[in-house]
Chain A
Amino acid sequence: MPDAPGLELIAQELNDAQEGSVVGTYHEHGQACLIVDPRHILHVLRWLRDTPAQQYRFLAGLHAADYLPAEPRFGVHYELLNMARVERVRVRAALADPGGEELPELDSCVELFPTAEFQEREAYDFFGISFRGHPDQRRILMPEDYVGWPQRRDFPMGGEPVIFTRDEPTAPGWYE
């Protein structure tokens, strides 16, 4: 992993190339993370992939997380790997929730990393994060006509309560 000063240099160079891309850095537990403005995510990923000194050419994983109640609410993590130097860097796009019916939007990186295809579909399926430019954005693991974004933190867990005998009077009709 690039060490903390190295990470700061990367952040500096990214901000030099395009102002406002990196809004923060985070170096803990031996791992480097760049917190990025979601509007500039493609620039950051392309820079990390193509710059001769960086060459993080392998996207190991794309994870989405819901940080409710912290703002911005969603984080889309891109785990980048440089196989030659065995170095990893994580890029987190801090995405805000527009609220209401509108879905948070992010540019799709399928052109840069074809492996993101299924993984972006998964982020869409579970969090409702819409990826602009994704060739085939539809649900991947939930049924196609499912309503709701299951892994958001405000989505209920579901399932059924276990009904004990003492609860039967308050749970009428359970035998039907």
Chain B
Amino acid sequence: MRRERIRALAPLEQPATREELRVRQLRARDLLRGDLDGAELEKHVEESVLATTLEKVLNWGRANAMFPATFGLACCAIEMMAIVSPRYDIARFGAEAMRASPRQADFLILSGRVSIKMAPVVRRLYDQMLEPKWVISMGACSSSGGMFANYAVVQGADKFMPVDIHVPGCPPRPEALLYGFNKLQRKILGNPDAGWRARYNAAGTEEWAHDETITDGGIEEYQRAREIARAAADA
């Protein structure tokens, strides 16, 4: 029971509004005075003390000690080798132990174009990795097929496997890959970078598909999704 409650918490719970922050401050004041008890006390302990949950510690450990699976397919692989080299040094982020075996690896850097012959192999390797696992799709070719819009290249690795971070470039500079890796680390820590629409306060500028193109099966979900988006934009 305890564990469920711990897992139910977000690892980094910042107060969402000023009211919530005020409530927390008042609770802390009451605690110091000895006035806090019952449900209030429990809630306070959850928020402040158990906020340093096991989950958070585990995530910190996972993010800072990741074993990449070397998956060099093509040109991006050379730049991926360059991040191990002393100038760009992924070792300072804890990830220089590149494991060839997927069973021992944490995340997959899919570097290079995925051809149709290689796609089932990649998928099988991804399936062989143990949870938790992440995927960085490095370069334009594995993110979207790159410049090769032809019969031989899968137009984006996320056609057959889930991808967490896409790093654009052809090939991306090692610094770009490191930036993508840091982004993945922040995602693992539970503090994912906000999308650009949130950063630039541009909610409501999404280009949604027109209603006419959606078949009956999906229209309720779509409308529900729009409601949620609209509510988030208004909030």
A residues contacting the other copy or chain, number (CB 8 A): 18
B137 sits at the interface (CB 8 A): no
Interface 9-mer from B27-35, B175-183, B190-198, B206-214: B206-214
- Using A142-B117, A143-B117, A159-B145 as known contacts, say yes or no to A169 and B213 having CB atoms under 8 A apart: yes
Interface of chain B, main secondary structure: loop
Does A160 lie within 8 Å of B209, measured CB to CB? no
Does A159 lie within 8 Å of B209, measured CB to CB? no
Interface 9-mer from A88-96, A127-135, A150-158: A150-158
Point out the residues of chain A lying under 8 angstroms from B145, CB to CB: 159-160
Interface 9-mer from B49-57, B102-110, B127-135, B151-159: B151-159
Most buried by B among A150, A159, A173: A159
Q: How large is the interface on B (under 10, 10 to 19, 20 to 34, 35 or more residues)?
A: 10 to 19
| Interface membership of chain B positions 136-167, coded 1 if the CB is closer than 8 angstroms to chain A and 0 otherwise | 00000000010011111101000000000000
A168 sits at the interface (CB 8 A): yes
Point out the residues of chain A lying under 8 angstroms from B117, CB to CB: 142-143
| Interface membership of chain A positions 137-163, coded 1 if the CB is closer than 8 angstroms to chain B and 0 otherwise | 000001100000010000111111010
- Total number of A-B contacts with CB less than 8 angstroms? 40
Query: Which of A159, A172, A175 is in CB contact (< 8 Å) with B148?
Result: A159
Taking beta carbons and an 8 Å cutoff, which residues of A are in contact with B? Answer: 142-143, 150, 155-160, 162, 165, 168-169, 171-175
Taking beta carbons and an 8 Å cutoff, which residues of B are in contact with A? Answer: 116-117, 145, 148-153, 155, 207, 209-210, 212-213, 215
Could you list 14 A-B pairs, sorted by A, with CB under 8 Å?
A150-B151, A157-B151, A158-B150, A158-B152, A159-B150, A159-B155, A160-B145, A160-B155, A165-B207, A168-B209, A169-B210, A169-B212, A172-B215, A175-B209
